[in-house]
Structure 1
């Protein structure tokens, strides 16, 4: 009985998670759109089972309105091109094994030229289905009609029922990435004051390399968020949100690369130490403190770039500034101790210098001033592209401009 009551209490939270899950949303929206398009096609098409309409709607309806618009155009283009090719071949040669081969070849080649991208196979599929029937002309136009029905239903489905904005999901992914990098740096810091076998230090290097997979997952979530902001009537500053999140991920990606290089440097140092402590106690503690502050700056930075309120952004920026200042102070003290170590053991000065340079690179990337310049550069670049695009449109619209 207790388990049932507990499940009932957790049901609202589980429902909320499902509503925020892109897979669940995509499944429900695609099912509804495909079903509606089939019902509409039964009314308008002469085919007894117009399955092309739900198939088109299933492929057209994406998680975001922007993806739906672009996919609809490419898919309709692919089907129409395939139907035209099938009609031409049916009039000339009919259906034989060699004409089928020519239809497939022509469809795949033409599909590349008309730039339907992932729907190139759909050109050949449409041509084969139309070529294989007896009454080619009527079936061809029925197929075009069903395709248009599926595309229109899928488009209207996302216009009337505006799809969610996936900024929060992308923000959570960015935050998770920063926390994973923080945990990695904390593990690295613990190795600086204890005996460090090469295998243990190298394990952190392998973990840093695996961050590339995490970054790819975050990039996919961010692309989905960027698409959800385009053409979305519920979003007023979509472009600014996209720029903030994208530049934030770019910064974390650079930091991940630097962290990987840092673990490579420590692995090289561990090989020279042959399992002994990497640094004397005082130097190791200073470096550990530096790395700990560096780890905290990553999370503060992620909170800053994903914050959606002015107050939250201001608080996150203040925390980031404090962490950066503390990290710089600890780094300065560690640099002095490393200089003394390098004088005692000149053969390791290049590794010490590399460590300090890698720490400096992360601090520079996370600096709010550096981020401000990066944002301004992206905004200026976008403004230049918009001006150039408007200029091309005006030039083409002028008499003789398109010739």
Structure 2
């Protein structure tokens, strides 16, 4: 935690990006509350900052897509819960029985993405509010729209995320992690009974695959981050990400390192195999180093 906090303040990287996006989400929520709760004195002002927080996504495109999905499911939850309250004459328990099972099922519909749960939670807010009238339903929809608009504007025009640097950062980290694995094997094989550490080497080499997947994920974020994003004009984008061929090259490197560690682990575990000579291990140590 200390390293992450320090990195966020002293160098550009994923930690600082997380800090910026977190502060933007908090700022969007405060602004949405100021508009709906303090200025408009809306009866359900909570919906505006709640929506604004969810709108500050990792990319501007994601914010737009999330906004459409979220507003649709929240509007549906609001209308259905209000209709249930009117039908049951504001009986809370009966309205919940008519609303929550359906909203939970609709929340799993793939078109709503990860925003489906907001339908049921919005319905809960509406039902526990206890009042169902045309004006209150309109207020709830307006407050949701205010939060969505503010969250989108904050994410798009206040240090909009670009994500071009992430691919390079992830590749650099992958190279360092690969060097650490090779260095650990080189050092261990130069010692007596160095193969006893082969299981740890194999585990570390397996982690390189996860790091390679992080590179692919960062490249996807870089492509999505450029869509509908004014950040190319509002922020310095920096150098372009390394070509995709680098991902393929490091994929081959990780595969070979994993194969070496698996072979060494097999030699250590299988007593029926004749182990190579100490001279071979010294030569292999030099090569890996």
Contact 1:78 1:123 in 2 (8 A): yes
Mapping 1:23-172, distance limit 5 Å:
23-42=18-37, 45=40, 47-48=42-43, 50-94=45-89, 95-113=91-109, 115-132=111-128, 133-172=130-169
Q: Deviations over 1:237-272 (max 9, x none)?
A: x9x957835x64455345324322221111222346
Shift of 1:56: 0.8
Shift of 1:214: 4.0
Contact 2:157 2:231 in 1 (8 A): no
The equivalent residue for 2:200 is 203
Higher fraction of helix: 1
Q: In 2, distance between residues paired with 1:143 and 1:219?
A: 40
Shift of 1:90: 2.8
Does residue 189 (structure 1) correspond to residue 178 (structure 2)? The answer is no
Q: In 1, distance between residues paired with 2:43 and 2:270?
A: 77
Q: In 2, distance between residues paired with 1:289 and 1:228?
A: 43
Secondary structure of 2:45's match? coil
Note closer, same or farther for the CA distance 1:202–1:68 as it changes in structure 2 (3 Å cut). same
Note closer, same or farther for the CA distance 1:198–1:276 as it changes in structure 2 (3 Å cut). farther
Q: TM-score, normalised by structure 1?
A: 0.58
Larger Rg: 1
Q: In 2, distance between residues paired with 1:45 and 1:114?
A: 35
Size of the aligned set, in residue pairs, is 277
Higher relative contact order (CA 8 A, sep 6+): 2
Q: In 2, distance between residues paired with 1:84 and 1:48?
A: 16
The equivalent residue for 1:244 is 243
Note closer, same or farther for the CA distance 1:113–1:269 as it changes in structure 2 (3 Å cut). closer
Shift of 1:208: 1.8
The equivalent residue for 2:262 is 264
Q: TM-score, normalised by structure 2?
A: 0.78
Contact 1:192 1:277 in 2 (8 A): no
The equivalent residue for 1:232 is 229
Q: In 2, distance between residues paired with 1:186 and 1:124?
A: 53
Q: In 1, distance between residues paired with 2:194 and 2:271?
A: 9
Q: In 1, distance between residues paired with 2:37 and 2:190?
A: 74
Note closer, same or farther for the CA distance 1:120–1:289 as it changes in structure 2 (3 Å cut). same
Q: Deviations over 1:120-160 (max 9, x none)?
A: 22101122222332233222211110111111111122333
Contact 1:65 1:159 in 2 (8 A): yes
Gaps of 5+ in 2: 1-5
Q: In 1, distance between residues paired with 2:60 and 2:214?
A: 21
Q: Deviations over 1:341-377 (max 9, x none)?
A: xxxxxxxxxxxxxxxxxxxxxxxxxxxxxxxxxxxxx
Q: In 2, distance between residues paired with 1:153 and 1:219?
A: 31
Secondary structure of 1:34's match? helix
